[in-house]
Amino acid sequence: MANSTDEISNFKVVLLGKGCVGKTSLVLRYVVDKFNNNNISTVQASFLKKKLNIDGKRINLAIWDTAGQEQFHALGPIYYRSSQGAVLVYDITDQDSFQKVKTWVKELRKMLGNDVYLVIVGNKIDLEKDRHVSLEEAKEYAEKVGATHCETSAKLNQGVDEMFFTLTKNMLSISEQKQLFNSTLSRQNSQRRNVIVVDDEQEPSMSTSKSCCGSSGA
Amino acid sequence: MTLPLSGRIFIANDNICLIFKRSYKYIMYATKQPSLRINQADLQCKEGCGFYGNADWDGYCSKCYRNHMEQARRKKLKQAANAQSGHQGESSKSQVSGFTKFEEKKRQQTDKKTKYFKSLPVFKKTSSAKDIGKPEKYAGLRQSNDPDADKLKTEFLSKYKYLGDEIRRDFLRFSDSFIRQILEDTNVKPVDELAEIAQKRYNVYNTRINSYHLYQQVSAEVRAELEDFLEKYTMTALYTSLFCPSSTNDEDKDLSIQDRIRKLTWVNAHHLDCCISETSLEVRDLVYTAINDLLGMDSVKAPQEKLQCVVKCCRSVVEVLQHCQGGPVSADEFLPALIFVVLKANPARLKSNILYVTRFCKESRLMQGEAGYYFTNLCCAVSFIENLTAESLNMPEQEFQSYMSGEMTTVSAWDSALVACEGMHQLCEHLSLLNNLNERNISIQEEKNKLMEEMNALKEDIKRKVSSVLESTPLVIKPRKSISVTDEKPSGGSLLSNIAIATHNSENIDKTKLTLDLTPCIKFPCIIEDNIEEDNVLKPSLSADLLSPFEQSFEGTTPDDNSILGLSKVNYDIDLSDLSAENSMAEALTPEKRFSPTPSYTPDPFSPVGTTCTITQQPLIPSSVPLQMTVQKEPQQIKDDFVAPFLEDLTRETAEETLLDKIEATPTINLPPPINPIKTEYSGFSKQGWKIPSIPCNTGDYSSLSSQPGTSKQDE
Query: Helix (H, G, I), strand (E, B), or coil: what is residue A26?
Result: helix
CA distance A180 to A153: 36
Element (H, E) at A85: strand A85-91
User: What sign has the CA pseudo-torsion B68, B69, B74, B78?
Assistant: positive
Residues on chain A touching B383 (C-beta within 8 angstroms): 74-75, 78
Tell me what pLDDT residue B310 has.
92
Which of A164-173, B157-166, B206-215, B538-547 ranks highest by mean pLDDT? Answer: A164-173
pLDDT tens sequence across B527-574: 444 444 444 444 444 444 444 444 444 444 444 444 444 444 444 444
Question: Residues B347, B355: contact at Cβ < 8 Å?
Answer: no
Question: Residues B293, B313: contact at Cβ < 8 Å?
Answer: yes
pLDDT tens sequence across B654-692: 444 444 444 444 444 454 444 444 444 454 454 554 545
DSSP bridge partners of A121: A89, A150
| Of the candidates B152, B182, B181, the residue with the CA atom closest to the CA atom of residue B243 | B182
A67 and B332 within 8 Å at the Cβ level: the answer is yes
Tell me what pLDDT residue A149 has.
93
pLDDT tens sequence across B452-487: 999 999 999 999 998 888 888 776 566 555 555 444
Tell me what pLDDT residue A87 has.
92
Average pLDDT score, chain B: 65
Question: Residues B625, B487: contact at Cβ < 8 Å?
Answer: yes
Measured at the CA of A68, the angle between CA A66 and CA A72, to 5 degrees, comes to 85
* Residue B48 CA: distances (Å) to CA of B16, B25, B40, B326: 22, 11, 13, 63
Tell me what pLDDT residue B416 has.
54
CB hemisphere CA count around B472 (13 angstroms)? 18
Does residue B191 surpass a pLDDT of 60?
yes
Residue B307 Cα to chain centre, angstroms: 45
DSSP bridge partners of A16: A88
Amino acid at residue number B388: L
- Percent of chain B clearing pLDDT 70 (strictly above): 47
Task: List the strands of the sheet with A9-17, edge to edge.
Answer: A47-54, A57-64, A9-17, A85-91, A117-123, A148-151
Does residue B442 surpass a pLDDT of 90?
yes
A216 and B211 within 8 Å at the Cβ level: the answer is yes
Segment B84-108 mean pLDDT:
46
Best residue of A6, A46, A211 to probe chain B, by most B CBs closer than 10 Å: A46
Segment B396-421 mean pLDDT:
69
Residue B86: CB partners within 8 Å, gap ≥ 6? none
Range with lowest mean pLDDT among A104-118, A179-193, B88-102, B384-398 = B88-102
Tell me what pLDDT residue B365 has.
82
Q: Does B178 touch chain A (CB under 8 A)?
A: no
**Residue B36's pLDDT band (boundaries 50, 70, 90)?**
very low
Q: Does A47 touch chain B (CB under 8 A)?
A: yes
Range with lowest mean pLDDT among A151-155, B459-463, B494-498, B631-635 = B631-635
Residue B535 burial (CB < 10 Å; 0-12/13-18/19+)?
exposed
Tell me what pLDDT residue B1 has.
39
CA distance B222 to B504: 131
393-432 in chain B: CB under 8 A from chain A? 393-394
72-91 in chain B: CB under 8 A from chain A? none
The domain locations on chain B are 2-242, 250-396, 470-715
Tell me what pLDDT residue B215 has.
79
Residue B110 Cα to chain centre, angstroms: 33
64-103 in chain A: CB under 8 A from chain B? 64-69, 71-72, 74-75, 78-79, 81-82
**Residue B85's pLDDT band (boundaries 50, 70, 90)?**
low
* Residue B235 CA: distances (Å) to CA of A97, B496, B585, B615, B690: 45, 127, 124, 134, 115
Q: Judge: domain B250-396, CATH 2.60.40.10.
A: no
Q: Does B336 touch chain A (CB under 8 A)?
A: yes
A46 and B322 within 8 Å at the Cβ level: the answer is no
CA distance A68 to A75: 10
Tell me what pLDDT residue B440 has.
94
Tell me what pLDDT residue B498 has.
53
CA distance B713 to B622: 12
Tell me what pLDDT residue A54 has.
87
Q: Does B193 touch chain A (CB under 8 A)?
A: no
In degrees and rounded to multiples of 5, residue B394 shows phi and psi of 55, 45
Tell me what pLDDT residue B401 has.
84
Q: How many CB pairs under 8 A join A and B?
A: 125
Measured at the CA of B401, the angle between CA B400 and CA B405, to 5 degrees, comes to 120
pLDDT tens sequence across B109-131: 444 444 444 444 444 333 333 33
Residues on chain A touching B204 (C-beta within 8 angstroms): 216
pLDDT tens sequence across B223-259: 888 888 888 888 888 888 888 887 788 888 899 999 8
A4-177 CATH pick, 2.30.130.10, 3.40.50.720, 3.30.460.10, 3.40.50.300: 3.40.50.300
Q: What is the ipTM of this complex?
A: 0.81
Residue B641 Cα to chain centre, angstroms: 63
**Maximum Cα–Cα distance across chain B:** 160
Measured at the CA of A183, the angle between CA A179 and CA A186, to 5 degrees, comes to 140
pLDDT tens sequence across B51-79: 777 666 667 777 777 787 788 788 877 77
**Residue B145's pLDDT band (boundaries 50, 70, 90)?**
low
pLDDT in tens, chain A (218 residues): 334 445 688 888 999 988 888 888 888 889 888 887 665 656 677 888 889 888 888 898 899 988 888 888 888 888 888 888 999 999 999 999 999 999 999 999 988 888 889 999 999 999 889 899 999 999 999 999 989 999 999 889 989 999 999 999 999 888 888 888 887 775 444 444 443 333 333 333 343 333 344 333 33
CA distance B244 to B352: 5
